[in-house]
Structures are given as structure tokens and as C-alpha cells.
């Protein structure tokens, strides 16, 4: 069974490393920089065999070139998007299966547009690598997609098995918890998650991976159907149509302007 760890990178990114500690091989997801990956591989005497990319933002791909210079045999998997310029990359899209020989792993590729127009996620081995789509107690900003795009993406992720370990691209749990508690102050699952996250961050430990069923109980962006109308932060106080998408859009807009 491969072992999983988040490597802190840049200001608040995580690069996910999945290793076969017997074969001494590893894959990484979204290497925004090479240094933390090279350090971890050297410290544990691991060879890099694959790099999985979720979307084109530089804090998720910036270390790819340097890593392939050190490990020329590492296979790069990337979404169909010219903004990731890598002639050798294997382009993958919705429904594709990525099979890695070592560490032995199979991932199903899911298109999850919203944060960007070509964002993908990788699901398999009980893990979800979802980049900047689903965060612990939050979701990504809508840079290139509509609220309807992002809600459809989150609905797909929410339907995965409840015990899925959610491996997000950033350590945002505490700030997300502050916003979530303005929406659902009486949600006991959320209160417990916020307390656990505070304790972990106090000793600089990652709050990730999250467990999907815990997210379903506490993440407001997965709870648009559960949050009562009077708790939705409608812009201008107006609730014109109150569709699911409108409810999601109101939450996302309020989060954009929220300061803890």
C-alpha cells in the first residue's frame, strides 16, 4: 500500500507525494516548485516515476520542468490546455484512466471546471487529488468558470465514496472555517472541524487530507441544499429566485469578499 504525504510548498501550497516505500518509487501531484520534492525524494531515497497536474496555474506546475530534468523517465500527466507547455506530457481528460506501475496506482480522471476551464481531478486508491476545486471547508475561486460549472464539479466530487481522502492544493482550512461558521454557526460538525484544525495548525501540522464525508457535513459549498435560506448571504439582501446555482453563487461571492 503506497504511503501519502503532503509536502508544504510556496506560501500555502501542498505538493502531494505518494510513495511505494519498498520499491522506493514515488509520484507527485501539482509540483508548484521542485525543491521540496527533490529534498523529500533524496531524504527517502525515492525515484520519481510520475507527475500528475490538475490545472495550469504556476503554483501547481512550476517545478515540473526541473523535476523531469532530474528524473527524465518520469511521465507527466496534464489536462488538455496549451498553457501547460510540455511536449512530452500525456494529455488526459474526463473518463481517462491513469495507470502507474510503481507506485502501483490507478486514477480516474474527472473534468471539474470552474476554477479554470480545463481543471481536472484524479480519483483512485481511495484518494482524490482535486487541486483548487474542492478545499477543506471551502472551494476554489471562479477564475474561468461560472457558478453553475463549479457547482456541477462539486456535485460530482460529492458523489464519490464518503471515505475518500481529499487531497487539496492549499492549506486553507482555518480561514475557510471562519467563513463557514458565519454561514452555519450552529453546525456541530463544523465547530469540531474548526477546533481540530486550530490544534493541528498550532503545531504546524497539515489539516489535510480531509475525509469526504466530513466535508459533506461541514463544507458550506457542499451544503447548498442544507443551508437555510435566511443564512445564505444574498447580495444586497435580495433572494430573487433561490435556485441551487443562485445559492451557491451567493456563497462564493460572499467568500470572495470575506476577511477573517
Q: Which candidate in 30, 55, 56, 123 is catalytic?
A: 55
59 is catalytic: yes
Q: Closer CB to Zn ion, residue 20 or residue 132?
A: 132
Name the burial class of residue 159, with classes exposed (0-12), middle (13-18) and buried (19+) by CB atoms within 10 angstroms of its CB: exposed
Q: Which candidate in 56, 57, 119, 123 is catalytic?
A: 57
CB of 231 to Zn ion, least distance (A): 28
57 is catalytic: yes
Task: Report DSSP state, residue 43.
Answer: H
Q: In terms of Cα–Cα distance, which of 167, 171, 183 is closest to 222?
A: 183
C-alpha–C-alpha distance, residues 52 and 72, integer Å: 15
Indicate the Cα dihedral angle 30, 31, 36, 39, nearest 10°: 110
113 is catalytic: no
123 is catalytic: no
30 is catalytic: no
CB of 116 to Zn ion, least distance (A): 7
CB of 55 to Zn ion, least distance (A): 6
115 is catalytic: yes
Task: List residues binding Zn ion (CB under 5 A).
Answer: 57, 132
Which three cell numbers mark 225? 441544499
CB of 132 to Zn ion, least distance (A): 4
Q: Closer CB to Zn ion, residue 131 or residue 233?
A: 131
Q: Closer CB to Zn ion, residue 83 or residue 242?
A: 83
Q: Closer CB to Zn ion, residue 57 or residue 255?
A: 57
The DSSP annotation for 163-212 comes to: T-EEE-SB--HHHHHHHHHHH-TT-HHHHHHHHHHHHHHHTT----SEEH
Q: Catalytic residue numbers?
A: 55, 57, 59-60, 115, 132, 170
Amino acid at each position: 500500500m503506497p504511503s501519502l504525504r503532503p509536502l508544504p510548498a510556496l506560501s500555502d501550497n501542498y505538493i502531494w507525494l505518494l510513495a511505494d516505500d519498498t520499491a522506493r518509487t514515488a509520484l507527485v501531484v501539482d509540483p508548484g516548485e521542485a525543491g521540496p520534492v527533490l529534498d523529500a525524494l533524496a531524504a527517502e531515497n525515492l525515484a520519481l516515476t510520475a507527475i500528475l497536474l490538475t490545472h495550469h496555474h504556476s503554483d501547481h506546475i512550476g517545478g515540473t520542468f526541473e523535476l523531469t530534468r532530474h528524473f527524465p523517465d518520469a511521465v507527466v500527466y496534464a489536462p488538455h490546455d496549451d498553457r501547460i507547455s510540455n511536449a512530452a506530457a500525456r494529455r488526459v481528460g474526463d473518463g481517462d484512466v491513469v495507470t502507474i506501475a510503481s507506485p502501483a496506482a490507478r486514477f480516474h480522471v474527472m473534468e471539474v471546471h470552474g476554477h479554470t476551464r480545463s481543471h481536472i481531478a484524479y480519483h483512485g486508491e481511495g484518494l482524490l487529488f482535486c487541486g483548487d476545486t474542492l478545499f477543506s471547508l471551502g472551494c476554489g475561486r471562479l477564475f474561468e468558470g461560472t457558478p453553475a460549472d463549479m457547482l456541477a464539479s462539486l456535485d460530482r466530487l460529492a458523489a464519490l465514496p464518503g471515505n475518500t481522502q481529499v487531497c487539496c492544493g492549499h492549506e486553507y482550512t482555518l480561514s475557510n472555517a471562519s467563513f463557514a461558521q458565519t454561514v452555519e454557526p450552529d453546525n456541530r460538525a463544523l465547530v469540531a472541524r474548526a477546533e481540530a484544525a486550530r490544534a493541528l495548525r498550532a503545531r504546524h501540522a497539515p489539516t489535510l487530507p480531509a475525509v469526504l464525508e466530513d466535508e459533506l457535513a461541514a463544507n458550506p459549498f457542499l451544503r447548498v441544499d442544507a443551508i437555510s435560506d435566511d443564512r445564505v448571504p444574498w447580495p444586497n439582501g435580495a433572494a430573487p429566485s433561490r435556485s441551487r446555482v443562485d445559492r451557491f453563487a451567493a456563497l462564493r461571492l460572499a467568500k470572495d469578499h470575506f476577511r477573517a
